[in-house]
Amino acid sequence: MKQYTEKDLIKSLKKIGIKKNSTVLIHSAIYTLGKMKFTNSNIIPEKIYSSVKKYLGPKGTIIVPAFFYDYSRKKRAFDLYKSPPDYSLGSLSKYTFKNKSFVRSKNPITSLAATGYLAKKICQESNSRPYGKDSAWDILTNFNAHILFLGTTLTESLTYIHYIEFLAGVPHMYLKKFNIPIKKNGKILEKEGLAYVRYLDFGIEPDISKFQADLERKKLLKKQRMGSGFVSGIKCKDALNFGIKKILLNTSYFLKREPSFRRNTYPLK
């Protein structure tokens, strides 16, 4: 596999439009980028984190996904500072959770962990709703954060589409209540939580590959080769505005096909 350096990483950030003092949500699959030159494999997440933090500067903010899927899958209580991010989120989320002093948002399924200048405003001052007004994702959008993909793609990783779907009111998603507590260091903050989920029936299959292709054609999603893979990025408001326009024309824009809703079942056709 090809190698890359810290300078290559910073150069890539600049080329896709990320500037100093930016707020950046990072989705990652670091292993696809190959080996970071002069760096042992086990400390690559640490090196990437420190390189990005140094580049962003004192007014920069780093955010990583910290979703706790066991809240819904295994009915486990969610504790902001004890419940680890799901393993599928990659080594950068794991590194941040284990090694950094972070602030975490309160919704178990859409939780974000943030460090830096705007961390408290985005996570601590947000409510526990998955999306919508004053959620962590809403505040993130108001600051027009960058969404950065390190070694992964928008198609594989963009959870932000659910924020877009929520605002657009798509018919294939709904809010589900879980009577499982949300805690902070053992103290109960709320006795229940909400998740924004798809209906299990009706042949609903997500597919946002066309969204990625459309964004690339419009030059809203910028991509740069690095090592054995790619680094890409887009601003929240660019993704939101473009996605809303597409969904208003076609509510199944983020799906493989239109759902097969049936009469006398909910949601009704």
Alpha-carbon gap, residue 114 to 120, rounded angstroms: 8
Yes or no: say if 183 and 77 are a contact pair by the CB < 8 Å rule: yes
Q: What are the CA-CA distances from residue 265 to residues 85, 97, 166, 250, 261 (Å)? A: 35, 42, 21, 22, 8
Is 257 exposed, middle or buried, given 0-12, 13-18 or 19+ CB atoms closer than 10 A? exposed
Structure tokens at 157: 């990783």
Alpha-carbon gap, residue 167 to 171, rounded angstroms: 12
- State which amino acid sits at residue 9: L
Kindly give the pairing relationship between strand 182-184 and strand 78-79.
parallel
pLDDT of residue 1: 79
pLDDT of residue 268: 60
Yes or no: say if 136 and 67 are a contact pair by the CB < 8 Å rule: no
Q: What are the CA-CA distances from residue 162 to residues 13, 129, 180, 192, 232 (Å)? A: 25, 13, 22, 21, 20
Q: What are the CA-CA distances from residue 167 to residues 170, 218, 243 (Å)? A: 8, 22, 10
Alpha-carbon gap, residue 2 to 130, rounded angstroms: 39
Alpha-carbon gap, residue 256 to 259, rounded angstroms: 9
pLDDT of residue 201: 84
**74 DSSP assignment:** S
pLDDT in tens, the chain (269 residues): 799 999 999 999 999 999 999 999 999 999 999 999 989 989 999 999 999 999 999 999 999 999 999 999 999 999 999 999 999 999 999 999 999 999 999 999 999 999 999 999 999 999 999 999 999 999 999 999 999 999 999 999 999 999 999 999 999 999 999 999 999 999 999 999 999 999 988 999 999 999 999 999 999 999 999 999 999 999 999 999 999 999 999 999 999 999 998 877 777 65
- State which amino acid sits at residue 162: H
Yes or no: say if 211 and 256 are a contact pair by the CB < 8 Å rule: no
DSSP 3-state of 236: helix
Yes or no: say if 67 and 110 are a contact pair by the CB < 8 Å rule: yes
Alpha-carbon gap, residue 207 to 212, rounded angstroms: 10
Alpha-carbon gap, residue 2 to 36, rounded angstroms: 9
